[in-house]
C-alpha cells in the first residue's frame, strides 16, 4: 500500500501543481480549467448521460473493429505461414501496406461509408488488421520445426498440428501484436471521431472545445485517456494469464 503510494506520488504532485497553478490564477481558466471544475464537469456529463451515450457509441465501434481485425488478422497470418501459395500471394501485399500511416484511410472511409458507425468500424478493422496479421505470421513461422515433425510422426493430422502446435507457439507474438492493435484502435477511433462524426468521445471533445466548454472538454479527454490506459492494463493481465503455461 505504501509502496504503491510512493510510486504514484509524482502523479499526485502533478495534480496538486495543476490545482495550485489554476487556483493562484497563474494561467487563465480559458487555457487550463482547475482540476475541481473538471471533476465537476465530468460529474455533470455523467449525470446528464452524455458521457454514457457517446461512450457506448465509441466503445461499440472500437470493440467491433478490433474484434474483426483480430479474427481475420490471426487467420490470415497463420494461413500465410502454413500454406505457401497464400504466403506468396498475401505476403507482398501485407508488407507493402503495413508501413502505411493508417490515419490516411480516414477520408477514404468517409467517402465510402459516410459519417456513421460503419466508417469507423471498417477503419479500425482495416487499420488494426495488418499488425495482427504480421505478428501471427511471424509467430507461426517461428514454430520449432522439430515439434511439427514429432507431432506429424506421432500421427497427428495436419489440421491438428496447426491447432495444437503452430497456434500455441505463435501465441506470444500474436498476443503482443494484438496489444499494438489495441492501442492503435483507440488512436484511430478518437482521430476519426474528432475529424468526422455525429457521436462518440472524439465528437464530444470536438464540440465541447468549439463551444468553449473547456472544463467539460478536459473531462472527456481525461476519460478517454484513462480508458485507453485501463484497456491496456486489463489486456496485459489477460495476456499474462493466457501465457501462464510458459516458463
Partner 1 sequence: MSAETPTLAPASGIRLDRLAATWGPHAVAALPLIALLLVWEELARSHILSAFLLPAPSVVLDRVWDDAHSGDLLTNLGVTLYRAMAGFAIAAIAGVALGILMARNAVVRWFFDPIVSAAFPMPKIAFLPIFMLWLGLYDVSKISMVVFNAIFPVITATIAAAEGVDGYLLWSARSLGASERQLLREIVLPAAMPQVLTGLQVALPISLIVEIVTEMLMGGTGLGGAMIASSRFADSPGVFAGIVEIAIAGLVLVKGIAIIRRHLLVWHQEAEEPTTV
- For residues 132 to 151, the per-residue mask of contacts with partner 1, x marking binding by CB under 8 A and - elsewhere, is --xx--x-xx-x-x--x---
C-alpha cell at 147: 515439434
Give, rounded to a whole angstrom, the gap between the first and last alpha carbons of the chain: 29
Dihedral of CA 106/181/140/73: which sign?
negative
Q: Which DSSP symbol is given to 17?
A: H
Nearest CA-CA partner of 163 in 233, 239, 75: 75
Instruction: Please state, in angstroms and rounded to a whole number, the distance separating the CA atoms of residues 192 and 186.
Output: 10
Dihedral angle over CA of 13, 15, 16, 21, nearest 10: 120
- Regarding 26 and contact with partner 1 (CB under 8 A), the answer is no
- Residue with smaller CB distance to partner 1, 25 or 101: 101
Helix (H) or strand (E) holding 93: helix 84-97
Render the burial of 106-140: b for 16+ CB within 10 Å, e for the rest: beebbeeeeeebebbbbbbbbbbbbbbbbbbbbbb
Instruction: Please report how close the Cβ of residue 213 comes to partner 1 at its closest, in angstroms.
Output: 11
Map the footprint of partner 1 across residues 158-197, applying CB under 8 A: 166, 173, 176-177, 180, 183-184, 186-187, 189-191, 194-195
- For residues 27 to 66, the per-residue mask of contacts with partner 1, x marking binding by CB under 8 A and - elsewhere, is ----x-----------------------------------
- Regarding 85 and contact with partner 1 (CB under 8 A), the answer is yes
Stretch of 35-43, 65-73, 81-89, 114-122 lying at the interface with partner 1 (CB under 8 A): 81-89
- Residue with smaller CB distance to partner 1, 71 or 234: 234
Instruction: Please report how close the Cβ of residue 67 comes to partner 1 at its closest, in angstroms.
Output: 18
Nearest CA-CA partner of 58 in 203, 230, 218, 226: 203
Instruction: Please report how close the Cβ of residue 78 comes to partner 1 at its closest, in angstroms.
Output: 10
Q: Which DSSP symbol is given to 211?
A: T
- Residue with smaller CB distance to partner 1, 121 or 181: 181
- Regarding 243 and contact with partner 1 (CB under 8 A), the answer is no
Instruction: Please report how close the Cβ of residue 133 comes to partner 1 at its closest, in angstroms.
Output: 11
- Regarding 126 and contact with partner 1 (CB under 8 A), the answer is no
Map the footprint of partner 1 across residues 91-110, applying CB under 8 A: 91-93, 95-108, 110
The binder of partner 1 chosen from 43, 112, 149, 163 (CB under 8 A): 112
Count residues near partner 1 (CB under 8 A). Answer: 78
**What is the DSSP track for 225-240?**
HHHHHHHHHHHHHHHH
Q: Which residue has the cell 499488425?
A: 131
Amino acid at each position: 500500500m505504501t509502496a504503491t503510494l510512493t510510486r504514484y506520488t509524482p502523479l499526485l504532485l502533478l495534480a496538486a501543481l495543476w490545482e495550485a497553478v489554476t487556483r493562484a490564477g497563474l494561467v487563465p481558466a480559458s487555457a487550463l480549467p482547475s482540476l475541481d471544475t473538471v471533476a465537476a464537469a465530468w460529474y455533470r456529463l455523467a449525470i446528464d448521460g452524455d458521457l454514457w451515450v457517446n461512450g457506448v457509441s465509441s466503445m461499440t465501434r472500437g470493440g467491433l473493429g478490433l474484434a474483426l481485425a483480430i479474427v481475420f488478422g490471426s487467420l490470415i497470418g497463420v494461413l500465410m505461414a502454413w500454406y505457401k501459395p497464400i504466403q506468396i500471394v498475401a505476403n507482398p501485399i501485407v508488407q507493402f501496406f503495413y508501413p502505411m500511416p493508417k490515419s490516411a484511410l480516414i477520408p477514404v472511409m468517409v467517402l465510402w461509408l459516410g459519417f456513421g458507425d460503419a466508417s469507423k468500424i471498417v477503419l479500425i478493422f482495416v487499420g488494426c488488421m495488418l499488425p495482427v496479421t504480421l505478428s501471427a505470421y511471424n509467430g507461426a513461422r517461428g514454430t520449432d520445426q522439430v515439434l511439427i515433425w514429432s507431432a506429424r510422426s506421432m500421427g497427428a493430422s495436419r489440421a491438428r498440428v496447426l491447432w495444437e502446435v503452430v497456434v500455441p507457439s505463435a501465441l506470444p507474438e500474436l498476443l503482443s501484436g494484438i496489444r499494438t492493435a489495441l492501442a492503435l484502435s483507440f488512436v484511430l477511433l478518437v482521430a476519426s471521431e474528432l475529424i468526422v462524426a455525429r457521436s462518440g468521445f472524439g465528437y464530444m471533445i470536438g464540440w465541447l472545445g468549439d463551444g468553449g466548454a473547456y472544463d467539460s472538454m478536459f473531462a472527456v479527454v481525461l476519460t478517454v485517456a484513462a480508458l485507453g490506459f485501463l484497456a491496456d492494463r486489463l489486456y496485459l493481465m489477460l495476456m499474462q494469464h493466457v501465457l501462464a503455461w510458459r516458463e
